[in-house]
Amino acid sequence: MNIKIAFLAFAVLLAACHNNQEHQSSDNHDHSTDHDHTASTEHTHGPSCDQTDTNEPEHEHGQANDHEHEHEHELYGVIKIAHTHFGDVIRAGGELLPTPKNDQIVVASRDGLVFFAQSKMQEGTTIKANQQLFTLTSGSLINNNLEVEFLQAKAEFEKAKTDFERAQKLVADTIISDNDFLNLKLAYENSQLTYNNVRRNYSVGKQQIVAPTNGFVKRIYVAEGEYVQAGDALMVISDNKRLTLKAEIPQSALHKMHTIQSAKFYTPYNKKVYSTASLNGELVSWGKSAAENSFYIPIFFEIDNKGDLIPGTFVDIYLKTKTDANSVAIPKTAIMEEFGNYYVYVDCHEEWEKRYVTIDGTDGELTKITDGLAIGELIATKNVSRIKLSLMSGDLPAHAHAH
């Protein structure tokens, strides 16, 4: 009996030990499953800029995310880094000047007193071709009186005309010689020229002076009622269709002067950047010596004026030399500065990376990058400060870009 009781006790103990081992095995399996789930959860945080994840599960709202991604690319002006043409740039100061051949001087056609045709005639006034500018009159002058000169020229012309018409009949009948006829003809033609010249723009003792071309009043040389002589300058009219861009090159850059091909310039009054290439510009000449009391050498371009360039304006100029087709250059709006260091924001698909770069010159629009970016990477070029503020405040979403 005692042997049976001992055997039953041993069997119960053995069964309990076996169940305990199975329970431990089950616990170990659950733990392994939890570990794998944790690893999967960590994977969903996404790869870095230099990694590619081929096993990332597809988002059930993929189309919506793609649309949002495209919107963010447009909002931040995202571009792909690629090789581009970019040459060395010489930064210089300069000025927009009128082109001399576009200025026309209006002069007095005879002696007399000058009066403005318009009471509001000032420098900058728009002028149309054949518009009346001045009136010349003799007033109470005794010498060179316009009225007397006109009447005298008219009388001489009418007499010469009568003599010539009579001579035409006489020479036909050989009553006068051919030589006399030719003299009368010459006198008639000379008196006709004089009379036509005097009566041109003449009206009741006054002579009108009209604009030779369209443009604006650049400079006025006379005052109302001033006495002028024939040939005196009265006014300068400029059409400003072509302008001269003058750049002052420092002597340290003279060795690059012969490689200069074009220029871009920045106007402070409207904060725009213009290119000589887009304004039908051409390099005209450069100075062969420095001006007196100056350490700079001038270089001149001629450009078209499409209406928003103002002569006399000082501008910042970026002179472009021969280009290198394998340069990396990005819009200057993409670059931020921090304590003398420069950086951009790189699109890492799930976040923006602040990337420090090395710059080497700018042409006013693009800035050359020598280190920090790789071909094919995506960067933001617009609203960059917004990305910076989002990162600083911690409001940047865990997925993708700033909203």
Model pLDDT, residue 316: 93
Kindly report the CATH number that applies to the domain delimited by 89-99+240-325: 2.40.30.170
Per-residue confidence band for 2, with pLDDT thresholds at 50, 70 and 90: low
Q: Are 135 and 108 in contact (CB under 8 A)?
A: no
Spatial distance between the Cα atoms of 396 and 347, rounded to a whole number of angstroms = 13
Kindly report the CATH number that applies to the domain delimited by 328-393: 2.40.420.20
Spatial distance between the Cα atoms of 280 and 310, rounded to a whole number of angstroms = 17
pLDDT exceeds cutoff 80 at 272: yes
Model pLDDT, residue 139: 65
Residue ranges of domains in the chain: 89-99+240-325, 104-238, 328-393
Give bridge partners of residue 298 from the DSSP assignment.
Answer: 248
Summarize the confidence of residues 181-209 as an average pLDDT. Answer: 80
pLDDT in tens, 32-75: 444 443 333 333 333 346 544 444 444 444 555 556 667 777 88
Look at residues 99, 92, 94 and name the one whose alpha carbon lies nearest to residue 281: 99
Q: Are 237 and 215 in contact (CB under 8 A)?
A: yes
Model pLDDT, residue 142: 52
Higher per-residue pLDDT: 20 or 346: 346
Least reliable range by pLDDT among 122-136, 187-201, 284-298, 389-403: 389-403
- Same topology between domain 89-99+240-325 and domain 328-393: no
Tell me the pLDDT of the chain averaged across its residues: 78
pLDDT exceeds cutoff 60 at 6: no
Summarize the confidence of residues 295-306 as an average pLDDT. Answer: 91
Helix (H, G, I), strand (E, B) or coil at 127: strand
Summarize the confidence of residues 297-306 as an average pLDDT. Answer: 92
Model pLDDT, residue 291: 65
pLDDT in tens, 115-144: 898 888 888 888 899 898 998 887 665 566
Model pLDDT, residue 398: 38
pLDDT exceeds cutoff 80 at 245: yes
Summarize the confidence of residues 142-160 as an average pLDDT. Answer: 76
Higher per-residue pLDDT: 50 or 250: 250
Least reliable range by pLDDT among 14-18, 259-263, 280-284, 289-293: 14-18
Model pLDDT, residue 34: 45
Model pLDDT, residue 299: 93
pLDDT in tens, 322-345: 887 888 999 999 999 999 999 999
Per-residue confidence band for 362, with pLDDT thresholds at 50, 70 and 90: confident
Look at residues 225, 18, 27 and name the one whose alpha carbon lies nearest to residue 115: 225
Predicted structure pTM score: 0.51
Q: Which three-class secondary structure string do you get for 9-66? A: HHHHHHHHHHHHHHHHHHHHHHHHHHHHHHHHHHHCCCCCCCCCCCCCCCCCCHHHHH
Per-residue tokens: 239: 């059409």
Choose which CATH entry (3.30.428.10, 3.30.70.100, 2.40.50.100, 3.40.50.300) describes domain 104-238: 2.40.50.100
Q: Which helix (H) or strand (E) holds 194?
A: helix 178-199
Which residues touch 314 (CB under 8 Å, ≥6 apart)?
93, 94, 95, 268
